[in-house]
Amino acid sequence: MLAKKLTNVLLLVALAATASVVTPTATAHAQEIQITGPLAGAPAVRRMRQYRTGRVQLIVPTVGYTLQDEFARHLMTGLEANIHFTDFLGIGVWGAVANFANAFQINTDLTGQIISNGQTTARNQLAMPDNEGFGDQVARLVGLASVHAIFAPLRGKLALFQGAFVDTDFYVLAGFTAAFVEERADFTGAEAAACANANATQRPTACGPSQSARTTRFAPAPMFGIGLNLYFNDFLGLALQWRAFPFDMNPAGDDFAGNTSAASVSQPDGEIDGSDQRFYFHHMMNIGLIINLPPEAAVSE
């Protein structure tokens, strides 16, 4: 009796397997959900607010702070304007001035220690004629201006304690920056030689004026960054950005290096000029208030 029941079960399983092979079925792939009926072909999201499409986005003001500076920090205040052709692609401009047009200075702790504890000797009097005047010779940013393209591939919502929700988007930007840098002026030729050979009594006259002599130059640089926008409503939002713009500068106003007869050798050459500039990776954080125009965002179908 048991053998007969087992035989019947095996026959039923075989018939079911045969039916599943010969019966035509729709093709389906792994991880694929086939949607039929009124939802077939429907977009993933309906009635989506398009905060960027066809709008001008003003960020007024932007407030930023430079990071990991060696000798001088900069509080950057400025404005940004972006035009968006689609919800993920746009172009824009940005400009900022440092320390409210350098109305004040922000020295790093290293600069403060050099001013307080540094020593000027015959060996370093060209590089630092007076330790108390070291803050006058370090390089400082005057301002920045950039043009950039924006690509925003991600968007969604952030929740605060599962009670307050805000629309967000993540974007990357890249472009060109014009940096304006104030540095110690070139100190070369007979004047630099006189400073290098001066004794302690002659030092204030031979070397002192060069320490506070300044020049401002234009430094072009590539610019790239990332950002996150938080939209409180169709009209207002908050922008958080990280920007980087690498270019050469002489941050300490020092005689770092110079050209020698050997192409592979670089060493102090007794002059302060453009050859003392070195690659410097500047970067900063920005925060700003977003104002979108027109005030109402488009809504998808």
Indicate whether 20 belongs to any domain.
no
Distance (Å, whole) CA 130 – CA 174: 41
188's CB contacts (< 8 A; 6+ apart) are: 271, 272, 273
Q: Are 239 and 62 in contact (CB under 8 A)?
A: yes
Would you give per-residue pLDDT tens digits along the chain (301 residues)?
544 554 555 555 555 555 554 445 555 555 566 666 665 655 656 667 888 999 999 999 999 999 999 999 999 999 999 999 999 999 999 999 999 988 999 999 999 999 999 999 988 999 999 999 999 999 999 999 999 999 999 988 888 777 788 999 999 999 999 999 999 999 999 999 999 999 999 999 999 999 999 999 999 999 999 999 999 999 999 999 999 999 999 999 998 876 555 454 557 888 999 889 988 899 999 999 999 999 988 887 7
Indicate whether 71 belongs to any domain.
yes
Q: What's the structural domain count of the chain?
A: 1
Distance (Å, whole) CA 7 – CA 14: 11
Range of the domain at 238: 48-299
Residue ranges of alpha helices (H) inside 164-291 are 189-196, 203-206, 208-212
pTM above 0.85, yes or no: no
Indicate whether 18 belongs to any domain.
no
Distance (Å, whole) CA 299 – CA 295: 13
Indicate whether 35 belongs to any domain.
no
Taking each continuous run of H as one helix and of E as one strand, the counts in the chain are 7, 14
- Give the pair of three-digit tokens for residue 119: 């020593």
CATH of the domain at 235: 2.40.160.20
| Sign of the Cα pseudo-torsion (34, 38, 43, 45, in order) | negative
Indicate whether 292 belongs to any domain.
yes
